Structure 1
C-alpha cells in the first residue's frame, strides 16, 4: 500500500516539527494511548503511544496570515501657508473634534492693519468715482433734454414738410395737363420749323438752277411750298405761345410757384432738424457711456482683489478640522511662529481603522476584495473582524516583492490602538460542519483511493486500525476535509497514514506526566473551537497564525 503522494510526503516533512511541538503544547486538549515496556523503574521504562485525532464536526478555513500596523482610515492634517504667530489653541491632544471645529487661531493684527489701510484707500477712490458719476449723470440729463427737444423739432419739421409736399403735389397734378399741351405744341412747332427750313432749302436750289426766279414767281412750285410751310410754322408757333400762356395762367391761378418754393423750404428745414437730432442723440449716447463707465469705476473702487486676498488670509487664520476624529498631534504652541506649509495638528478617526499589509506575489491570485479577515494583536483579546478593501494593482519591492493592501476593521469598539502591530488572517474559503484531520492522516491505497485509518480495538502501540476510503475536500496548510458514510463523530483516526510516523516513544516518567495531565486519548478534534478552524496545526510560515498559510512577517 502507498501511504501518501509525493506532495503530502513533502508536506509532512515541512510540518512535522510544528506538529510535534503541537503535541506537547496541547496537553490540556487530550491525552495519549501508551504501553509500558521493559522494567518497572520510572527513570528508564519506555512507553509507546500512537497519535490519533478524534473526529468532530467543525469549520475549516483556508487562509493567508499577514502582519501589519493599525492605522486610521481617515487622517487629515490641519495646515497653514501663512507665516504668523499662534494666538490660541482651543484643543488638546486626545480631544475628539467634529469637522469644522476650531483647532488653532493665528494672530491677525498685521492683516487687520493692512485691511484698514486698504479700506481707506478704497474710500478715497470711491468718493472720486461718486463725483465723476454725479457729473456724468447731470450731463446725461441735459443731453437727454436736448435730444428730446431735437426729436420734437424734427417731428414738427417733418409734419410741415409733408403738408407742403401735399399742397405742392396737388397743384402740380392740376397744371400737368397744361404742361402736356405746352409740350405737345412745342413739339409740333419744332417739327414745322424743320419743314419750313427744308422748303426754303428746296426754293434756294430751284432759284440756283433757274427753275424759279424767286418768291414772286407764282409758277414756281418750290416757292409755293415754302410759303405754305412758313405759314404752318407761324401758326404752330402761335399755338405754342398760346399753350405756354395758358400754363402760366394756370400756375398763377394755383399759386404753383409759391407752393413749390414752400415745399423746398420745408424739405431744407426738415433735413436741418434731422441733423440736429443726430447730433443731440450722439451727445446723449456719449454721456450714457460715460455714466456706465463711472458706475463701473465706482464698483471697482468699492472692492479690490487685494482686499479680497486680505479677507481670505484673515479667514484662513482660523484653522478648522476638515474631518471628525481624535487630535493625535499638535505641533505648535501659543506664541510660536507657524511657518509656510506648517502642519499645525493631525486628526485621526480612531473609530475607523485599517491595517496596511503586503500580500506576497505567490498569493495574489488567491485573494480578492471583499474577503473577510480575522485580526489579532497582543493588546486585545479574541479575534476582531475585518474586510479586505484595497489591493494595489502593481507590485511593490520596498521590503520584499508583494502587493500593498488594506484591511478595514469592521468590529465596532474593537479596542485597537493606532500604531500597534496586528496579525491579519485573510479567509480565502470556509467550509462548515465537516470532519477534518491533519493532512498527513490521509494516505493512498494501491487502488489510488484516499484512505484514513480508524481505530478498531486495543490501545497504545498495540492499537488496531482499519482502512476506510474517504473523499477529500477543502484543505489548508495543515488540515484537510474528509467525508465517508463510514465516519462518525467520536471515531479515532490515526494522525499519520504512516504507522511509524504516528508512533512516538517516551520514557515512562514523561508519559505518566502526560497521562496525569490529560487522561487517556489525544483528541485533536476536541481542541477545535466551535465555528473556528482547527487549532494546533503548527505555526504559519514566518510566524503566521496556526491554521493559515503563513505571513509576510
Structure 2
C-alpha cells in the first residue's frame, strides 16, 4: 500500500495528464460517431426519390421520312410524234380532262387524208354494186310479171317452166344484192386503217386522266413525245419512311403513327404498307420503305416536307411505372423497388417492396404488386453504390 501511495505521489502529474487525455479521447470518439451519424442521416435525406403515380405508358419506334402524295399519276403519250405544244407548268392545278399537251400531227393528217380517199372510193364502188344488184332484182321481178301475162295462154308445162326460170332469176338477183350489202357493211382493211389513224390522232391530244397538281413537266416542244407530266393529289398525302432492318419486324399494318413536320406541326395516321424487300445503300445497310397515311393533313403539310415519325408499338393505360434504374433485385433475385421511410426524428431508411415488371420502354418499366400504393415515395436508384 505504501508502495502504491509512493508511486502515485511520484507520478501524480503524469496520471493527471493521462486522465485528461482519456477523457478528451472519449469525447472526440463520441463526437465523431455523432458526426458520422449526422452525415449518414443527411446523405439518406438527400437521396433522389420520386412519387409513384399511375399513368399511361407507351413504347414507340422512331423513324424519319418525307411527305408524298398517295395518288401519283405519270402521264405519258401513246404516240411518238413530236410535241407541238405544252399547256401546263409545274404547280398548275388541273381537272380531269384538261389538255396538258398536243403533238404535231402533220404527217398523220396526210396519212388520214390518203386513207379517207381510199375509203371514199371503196364506198363509191360498194354503192355502185348495190345499185346494180337492186336494178337486177327489179328487172327480174318485172320480167316475171311480163311472163305471167304473156304465158297465160301457154301450155301449162311450158308456162310452169318459164315462171320457174323467172323465180330462179329473182332468187339469184336477191343473193347478189344481199352479198353487195354485206360487203358494203363489212369493215374493210382501208376502213380499219382509217379508224386506227383517227384514234392515233385523238391520242395526240394528251389530257389529264385525273384531277390534281402538276408537280413535274417532262414534255419539251419539238422533242419526241414520251413522258409528259406528273400529277399528284395534294389532298391525299402519306409519309414514306425508311426503317432499319432490325426494327422492321416490330411493325405491322394498322399501327398508329404520330408525325412531326420540320415546322413542328403534328399529324396522325397509321401504317398502310411495308415493303416486302429491303433497299441496300452504298454502305451495305439495309432498310425497308414504310408508307403511313396522314389522316388529318392541313395546308401546313406540303409535298416533299421531311417528317419525324413515332410508331406506337405498345400502350398501357392507368398503370404504375418507374425509371429503369429504380428496379433492383433482392437476395433471392426477385425484382424490388425501395420505399422511403422517415421516422419522427427525421431518420430516413429504405425498405424493399416486391414488384412484378411488365412493359418496358427506353426509360421506364411497368411495375405492379400488392405493396405498391399511389403516392408512395420510392428511391430513384435501386443500387446504393450508384448513389455514391
TM bucket normalised to smaller: 0.7 to 0.9
Find the aligned partners of 1:495 and 1:150 in 2 and give their Cα distance. Answer: 127
- Give matches, 1:61-460, under 5 Å: 61-146=58-143, 269=157, 276=162, 279-299=165-185, 300=187, 304-333=191-220, 336-340=221-225, 342-377=226-261, 379-392=262-275, 394-399=276-281, 400-401=285-286, 403-413=288-298, 415-457=300-342
Specify whether residues 486 and 110 from structure 1 end up closer, same or farther in structure 2 by C-alpha distance, changes over 3 A only. same
2:385 is equivalent to residue 494 of structure 1: no
The C-alpha deviation readout for 1:438-484, integer Å capped at 9, x for no partner, is: 223222323454321233349xxx96433222333322233211234
Q: Normalising by the residue count of structure 1, what TM-score does the alignment of the two structures yield?
A: 0.54
Q: Normalising by the residue count of structure 2, what TM-score does the alignment of the two structures yield?
A: 0.74
Find the aligned partners of 1:434 and 1:61 in 2 and give their Cα distance. Answer: 11
The DSSP-based 3-state class of the residue aligned with 1:99 is coil
1:479 aligns with 364
Find the aligned partners of 1:82 and 1:433 in 2 and give their Cα distance. Answer: 64
The DSSP-based 3-state class of the residue aligned with 1:416 is coil
How far apart are 1:485 and its partner, in Å? 5.2
Q: Is the 8 A contact 1:384 1:414 kept in 2?
A: no
2:21 aligns with none
Q: Which runs of 5+ in 1 are unaligned?
A: 1-36, 38-47, 161-264, 505-553
Larger relative contact order (C-alpha < 8 A, sep ≥ 6)? 1
Specify whether residues 463 and 337 from structure 1 end up closer, same or farther in structure 2 by C-alpha distance, changes over 3 A only. farther
Structure 1 or 2: more helix by fraction: 1
The C-alpha deviation readout for 1:261-286, integer Å capped at 9, x for no partner, is: xxxx86xx1xx666555544443333
52, 55, 60: which one pairs with 2:52?
55
How far apart are 1:346 and its partner, in Å? 0.8
How far apart are 1:134 and its partner, in Å? 0.6
Q: Which runs of 5+ in 2 are unaligned?
A: 1-38, 40-44
4+ runs deviating over 6 angstroms: 148-154
Q: Is the 8 A contact 2:321 2:366 kept in 1?
A: yes
1:16 aligns with none
How far apart are 1:137 and its partner, in Å? 0.8
The DSSP-based 3-state class of the residue aligned with 1:142 is helix
Structure 1 or 2: more strand by fraction: 2
Find the aligned partners of 1:151 and 1:425 in 2 and give their Cα distance. Answer: 101
Task: Give the RMSD, CA atoms, in angstroms.
Answer: 3.6
Find the aligned partners of 2:148 and 2:286 in 1 and give their Cα distance. Answer: 90
How far apart are 1:349 and its partner, in Å? 1.5
How far apart are 1:497 and its partner, in Å? 1.7
Find the aligned partners of 2:159 and 2:331 in 1 and give their Cα distance. Answer: 127
Task: Judge which range, 432-441 or 463-472, deviates more.
Answer: 463-472
Specify whether residues 359 and 274 from structure 1 end up closer, same or farther in structure 2 by C-alpha distance, changes over 3 A only. farther
Specify whether residues 298 and 448 from structure 1 end up closer, same or farther in structure 2 by C-alpha distance, changes over 3 A only. same
